A and B are shown apart, each in its own frame.
Chain A
């Protein structure tokens, strides 16, 4: 094929370890492996040389874009010449045939318009990693109140309830603006069917949005760890923030009778705990202290360590209190042949089949999660039964192929 492609992300994994950044970077690497003349453009907050818009990292194919929004409500970036000047120039110089955008956040939603203005014939693919266009609350589709209730659909009046400073009219303008910028996208990729449905409800043409899972690098799976009568090892892997449900996990553990607690080992491999709000940190730290005989806190991990972490455990738990899209950790767990205990909502419920590749518990319910723990302790054979059902998730080459099929390449 040897086509020229550009992959755009809102961050470079060198600086930002989020799932979206990693998925974009792995996709870029896959393009190179497939023989594409591929470039990676990642937005960064670090300072450039003397006010330049771009710099490179690692090699000349990995370009950093030093820019940011001037309007976080609209994801708009028009006041500087970064998009309509510098980025347009870069597009002219590169003139790729296909552009795979993995975000517009921090880059500017008008990027879509500039791309089509400079390169009218380019194929423009946008992968959606969460619900930013739909929800002003960090794209979570969770209400802003104290209870952080799950939100099922956006609306000008409803969104105004979450953000009283913004009028219903402002939310109308926001939606119009984003939808009109989405007009220039040829094809949307949704890593989960759940996310696809949300965007169709919101107004994206269902013919233009396709479900393609983020591809996984191939790994060799070590035989399943024995589940002894003594201990069941469960890992929580990922960021620690109020929407990841670590409090639900710890509450559930506290509910367990002592003899059940003694049979469990919970390993928490989590990043960004120290940058959370102090109330949250305080609550979690207190619980961790109480549960020190059950829970071990490991701190952040590097992607290459994941295999070793997963090889030593029996289960992965993903107790998020928001919908999620397609959490990286679920795909990684399945890659390594581990069953996953998940909240029964959104992308989590979609990616794990209850009693087949893992177990569902009622989202946000510590009681339900505690019951689930009791179930896996009382039936130790359950784990290996589920492990045998796990099939390999979509590989990177397969994902690459499916995305290109959806734009007829």
Chain B
């Protein structure tokens, strides 16, 4: 009912859901609204009448509810069957109570048999099918697609493709339903030259709307969806899902004229996934992980970037630390940070790199940067890739522009509390044994703990993965006894000091995590992998207004699902390494 309804004079609304053509017998189902309790529905051809036609009305209380009709309007569902040699549905003329319907307004789904259409008749089905028997050339034709088949002919499966398209250059996305429990894992696309490419298997899910309409039990997962990157330059024209012993499920592949954004597609995709099902971790997960990773396409995120670098003021020569600060959503943090940094003479030794990771605010960001520089005269530079790279990608891009001996990965909502903090951290780093990353204590604005190290922990809300747990979070900082600098399991990505050479040698943050979750623990694992350690300094204390920036990515169900999938990715990637780290700190 999401399709546009056709409104004619005398307020006739006419809608066709499905159309099927078996030989010269056409069947269609739909609903109509008119001011008559017994509307007259007639189909003809442009030039002539159609003599063999019959229709049956059926109650459609859902339509009445959805449209909120007044007392003078009546809605009925219908199944209509007629005989015509014409092969084009658009050539027919449909009239209701004498009013001709605009055929262009109709967007029926074309089916390869009439079972679903007749199913709508429910208990009236048998009588109706019996009454149109004469439409078919032979007596048994009405049921031939079901039962009477030659031995060598393959069986048909009812199916429908809602979408089958290519977007974002080479991202194939298709979704639909098929009334089969067979695995949909033999899928190919074909181009004009007949070359084929094998596509990732489908994820199957329950289509509650369909099951309701076809009176199927609610556990039947008729829905299917898949996402797959195609090879560069491959122009798919047809997609086929092959099942042994059955006819292929095929659809033409169309190019999506308005490219869907990655996050729109992610949200749509994740909307289909029920992560709470018992068998989610075993059955759905492998396909889903591949699909989501293909949508995100982390491998290609950094390809072919030509970042714009903009320098404000005279940059520090041979900086000790390069602060790399991604900006997403809120850019006013630049104003707050740079005012604070400008008051600290020690900051002159370092360089500040803001990475704009949000094309939506590019203009305002540039204006604000200019204003902030002219007002507070603190030198800094900005890097902008022209698109959203995510936390890891943005940090890696910033690091690629860095000159310092160290990288300080810093969140934009972290503010210093005492002058000279950064050089003191560097001095500590240089004195630590096997140091890889040095983090620091972070507090909220009310002096309660935001971060004093993290560790891997299981969480009933996120079953089956390791979450990054912040011990003592929210406690008044003074209550938690801590001294000096110590080795810890993990530190947060909100503030990480790491030697640039080490950062580069491990490839920086892993961009495969989608929209930020486990990049920091992943980088820590990379550092452990190099036989280096993670340290936390508790003498310095920065202010972290956590979630002021993150909340801008809208929360909700799909974000929860992403966290779960990101966690699964981390667990699959590191396996026993996580347990090993945990044992060490046990």
Contact = CB atoms under 8 A, between A and B. Distances in A.
Interface of A: 71, 74, 76, 78-81, 83-85, 110, 113-114, 117, 156-157, 167-173, 176-177, 180-181, 183
Contacts of B340: 176, 180
| Main SS class of interface, A | helix
Contacts of B343: 180, 183
A78 B525 CA distance: 43
Nearest to A110: B375
B406 interface: no
B270 interface: no
Contacts of A114: 375
B336 A177 contact: yes
Nearest to B367: A79
Given A84-B375, A113-B375, A114-B375, A169 B413 contact: yes
B496 interface: no
B368 A173 contact: no
Contact of B372 (A78, A80, A167, A170): A78
B446 A84 contact: no
A289 to B, nearest CB: 47
A117 B377 CA distance: 9
22 contacts: A74-B332, A76-B335, A78-B371, A78-B374, A78-B375, A80-B371, A81-B374, A84-B374, A110-B375, A110-B376, A117-B377, A156-B445, A167-B545, A167-B548, A168-B444, A168-B445, A172-B543, A172-B545, A173-B332, A173-B415, A177-B339, A180-B340
A177 B337 CA distance: 10
Contacts of B368: 78-79
A242 B415 CA distance: 39
Nearest to B543: A172
A92 to B, nearest CB: 14
A172 B445 contact: yes
A169 B367 contact: no
B446 A157 contact: yes
- 5 shortest interchain CB distances as A-B pairs: A78-B371, A169-B545, A172-B445, A84-B374, A110-B375
Nearest to B446: A156
A297 B71 CA distance: 58
Nearest to A111: B375
A83 B375 contact: yes
Given A167-B545, A176-B340, 5 more contacts: A80-B371, A110-B375, A168-B444, A171-B445, A177-B336
Nearest to A70: B371
Contacts of A169: 413, 444-445, 545, 548
Given A71-B332, A113-B376, A157-B446, A79 B371 contact: yes
Which residue, A78, A114, A168, has most C-beta atoms of chain B within 10 A? A78
Nearest to A80: B371
A173 B374 contact: no
A114 B339 CA distance: 13
A263 B371 CA distance: 62
Interface of B: 332, 335-336, 339-340, 343, 367-368, 371-372, 374-377, 413, 415, 444-446, 543, 545, 548
Contacts of B543: 172
Contacts of B336: 173, 176-177
Contacts of B371: 78-80, 84
A168 B446 contact: yes
Contacts of B377: 117
A114 B415 CA distance: 23
Contact of B335 (A78, A85, A157): A78
A71 B372 CA distance: 13
A380 B374 CA distance: 64
Contacts of A78: 335, 368, 371-372, 374-375
A113 B336 CA distance: 14
Contacts of B545: 167, 169, 172-173
Contacts of B376: 110, 113
B339 A170 contact: no
B212 to A, nearest CB: 41
Contacts of A110: 375-376
Nearest to B415: A176
Contacts of B339: 177, 180-181
A157 B474 CA distance: 14
Nearest to B343: A180
Contacts of B367: 79
A172 B413 CA distance: 11
Contacts of A171: 445
Contacts of A117: 377
A79 B368 CA distance: 6
A172 B335 CA distance: 14
A120 to B, nearest CB: 13
A183 B342 CA distance: 13
A167 B445 CA distance: 11
A84 B368 CA distance: 13
Contacts of B372: 78
A177 B335 CA distance: 9
Contacts of B335: 74, 76, 78, 177
A170 B543 CA distance: 12
A60 to B, nearest CB: 28
Contacts of A76: 335
A257 B545 CA distance: 58
A62 to B, nearest CB: 26
A183 B377 CA distance: 16
B361 to A, nearest CB: 13
A173 B543 CA distance: 10
A174 to B, nearest CB: 9
Contact of A170 (B374, B415, B446, B548): B548
Contacts of A113: 375-376
A8 B188 CA distance: 75
A170 B335 CA distance: 13
Nearest to A157: B446
A81 B375 CA distance: 9
Nearest to A172: B445
Nearest to B371: A78
B470 to A, nearest CB: 17
Contacts of A157: 446
A181 B376 CA distance: 10
A172 B368 CA distance: 20
B3 to A, nearest CB: 39
A71 B339 CA distance: 16
A117 B548 CA distance: 31
Contacts of A74: 332, 335
Nearest to B333: A173
A217 B147 CA distance: 108
A85 B415 CA distance: 28
B545 to A, nearest CB: 3
A113 to B, nearest CB: 6
B80 to A, nearest CB: 56
A349 to B, nearest CB: 32
A170 B375 CA distance: 21
Nearest to B337: A173
Contacts of A83: 375
Which residue, B340, B368, B376, has most C-beta atoms of chain A within 10 A? B376
Nearest to A167: B548
Which residue, A76, A80, A183, has most C-beta atoms of chain B within 10 A? A76
B311 to A, nearest CB: 18
